[in-house]
Structure formats: C-alpha cells, structure tokens
Amino acid sequence: MKHSILVTGGAGYIGSHTTLALLEAGHEVIVLDNLANSSLESLRRVERICGKAATFVEGDIRDRALLDSIFARYSIDAVLHFAGLKAVGESVQQPLAYYENNVSGSVVLFQAMAAASVFNLVFSSSATVYGEPKQMPISEDCPTGTPTNPYGRSKLMIEEILRDLSLSEPRWSIAVLRYFNPVGAHSSGLIGEDPNGIPNNLLPYISQVAVGKLQKLSVYGDDYPTVDGTGVRDYIHVVDLADGHLKALAAIATEQGVHVWNLGTGQGYSVLQMVSAFEQAAGVTVPYAIVPRRGGDIAECWADPKKAAHELGWQAKHSLDDMMHDTWRWQQSNPNGFSQ
C-alpha cells in the first residue's frame, strides 16, 4: 500500500538511502532537512537512480510552525526520524547543541505529530545506548547502559521519552531501531557517506587513505581482549539498514506501543580485519599505525539480530566484501563527496 512518509534528515547518509528505498517501493516521500550535515545533491542523485523525486522542505525539526504547516499540507501516515547531530567528539565539546538538536528537536517533532494525530514513528537509535555491554551478542533485552558521551545520552533520552509518550497515549506505534555500524554505499556509486572534514569513523577514514586524501590510518589500540587486539564492531551495509526501515514501517502499521529492534548482521570484525578486507576489495594498500586507545571506545560489540529476523522478516544480505566494494566505488567516483 502506498503511504506518505515524512523523512526528517532525509538528505543525510542513511536518510538518503532510505528515501531511495521508499520511493522505489512506491511511497510518497517528504524530506525535511536543514542541510546542517548534508547537501541537496544527495536527493538529486536519488532521483537519478530511481526516476522519482522526494518533495524537499529545507528547514529544522525545532521549527514547530514549519512542522505544523507540513502536517497540514500533506497527509502524512508515518515519520522516519533521522534528523540529528551525530559526531561523538563534537558532542563532548558542544553538549548543549546536541541536547537541543537531538532531544529538544525530537520533542518538538513529537508534539507536532501528536497535534496532527500522526502516531507512527520510526526512530534512529544506536547500539551506543547499550553502553559497555556485559554479554555478546547484544540482544534487545540486554539492559541499556551508560553511554559515554552526550551524543549517546541524547539517543537514550529520546528512547525514554518515547516510552513515556506511548504510556500516555496508546495510539503511538513506535519502532526504535538500534543501528550497529552503518557502512557502504548504494551500488550505483551515486550516493554514499560524505563526512565533513576528517572522518571520525573507521571505513570513511580507510577509504580516504586509500584514495590518497589522508596519509595513514591510526588504529586506536591493539591491546583489547579481541581476536587480534583491535576493536571489533558489527558493520552493516546501509542498503540493508534502509530495508530494515521499510520492514519496521510495515510492522508498526499494525502494532501499537514501542518496539525495539537491533539492526546489525550478528558478525563482528576487528579493525585489522576491516583493513585487510578493504585492501583485498580495492586492490590497494592502506598504510596504518597502531596508536593508543581512543577514549570512550569499547572492546567489542555485535548484534543478536534474531528479533528483527523473527518479527520483521528482515536480515542483512550484503557481505563484508559488498560493503568494501560499494564504499570504494563511491569514494573513487566522488573523491570530494557531493561537492564536485
């Protein structure tokens, strides 16, 4: 069935891949984005890939009057809420900007949704809410922990707000999607991750070293209790992640309350395994140096993805090799990201 979906942050990395998947599935998409960390070029490329366009509204989720006008103008069935700031280090430097954008912005969005009687919501959360995990793999019934930074805390706060909201008004149908480590790009090479400045995340850093923009990778610690001493994470292809949103959207159409789903592959890879998988896929050498651990990092983290498999009929399909090939194609064809 065709729906009208409001996608906040839809010009960004995960939002643009999900907008594409929604358009391909025949939905009408309205993107609201203030372009704080993205460019409209991503949505032009989405249109190039699928021949359909999302309606774009430039603006902020903190702008209540704008939200009210969007809900009045379009008959929105559900909101996919990606908008927010996501740089962990920056969140330590500027906590108020993070709480204002992520927490206050979400509150304004939820108020506008309630006023418009739109109660279907898919929220982008993160595995960071589990804090230092006590067991592996991490299933949804593992307790949430203490995130080590304001970014992570902002995600946990929003999750708690959503639980309170659902208790107060049973019409809310909410999917909380806890992403593990999103990587990769669309196989066309037209859309992908375009980090601002020097990347914080591993795979964008590796690919910028490979393309010659950065000199060498710093591997943050080789003394963790892991397979080779380097940090282990569950990397998930962004196209699989986008598909998870469509499945979650379908699930909440018939189920009220708050539902939490991990979106991960269930398989962890170390930093050095990632380097060598990338080198193999790209056919280039990635110079690296071992440096001290990065503050706030955990040793390892990977998902138990069974709940999403059982309840959503979703599982990640792309292999590590796909993630590497797609990242490399995107990086090579767009060495300067969306700004040519």
- Which range in 79-87, 134-142, 161-169, 249-257 contacts ligand NAD by CB under 6 A? 79-87
In the complex, the smallest distance separating the C-beta of residue 240 from ligand NAD, rounded to whole angstroms, is 13
Please classify residue 283 by burial: count the beta carbons closer than 10 Å to its beta carbon, then call 0-12 exposed, 13-18 middle and 19+ buried. Answer: exposed
In the complex, the smallest distance separating the C-beta of residue 189 from ligand UDP, rounded to whole angstroms, is 21
For residue 286, give the amino acid letter. V
Q: Could you tell which of ligand NAD, ligand UDP, none binds residue 119, using a CB distance below 5 to 8 A set by kind? A: none
Among 90, 222, 279, 297, binds ligand UDP (CB under 6 A): 297
Q: What are the φ and ψ backbone dihedral angles of 305, each rounded to 5 degrees?
A: -95, 15
Beta strand 232-233 pairing with 120-126: unpaired
Q: Is 219 in the site for ligand UDP (CB under 6 A)?
A: yes
For residue 291, give the amino acid letter. V
- Which range in 38-46, 109-117, 157-165, 212-220 contacts ligand UDP by CB under 6 A? 212-220
For residue 148, give the amino acid letter. T
Among 5, 6, 7, 11, binds ligand NAD (CB under 6 A): 11
Beta strand 257-263 pairing with 173-179: parallel
Q: Is 201 in the site for ligand UDP (CB under 6 A)?
A: yes
Q: Is 181 in the site for ligand UDP (CB under 6 A)?
A: yes
Q: State which residue, 35 or 92, has the beta carbon closest to ligand NAD.
A: 35
Q: Is 294 in the site for ligand UDP (CB under 6 A)?
A: yes
- CA distance between the termini of the chain: 38
Among 176, 271, 282, 312, binds ligand UDP (CB under 6 A): 271
Among 152, 231, 266, 305, binds ligand UDP (CB under 6 A): 231
Q: Is 151 in the site for ligand UDP (CB under 6 A)?
A: no
Q: Could you tell which of ligand UDP, ligand NAD, none binds residue 37, using a CB distance below 5 to 8 A set by kind? A: ligand NAD
Closest residue to ligand UDP: CB criterion? 231
Q: Is 323 in the site for ligand UDP (CB under 6 A)?
A: no
Q: State which residue, 28 or 159, has the beta carbon closest to ligand NAD.
A: 159
Q: Could you tell which of ligand UDP, ligand NAD, none binds residue 220, using a CB distance below 5 to 8 A set by kind? A: ligand UDP
Residues labelled as active-site residues: 151
Interacting residues toward ligand UDP by CB under 6 A? 181, 200-202, 205, 217-220, 231, 233, 271, 294, 297
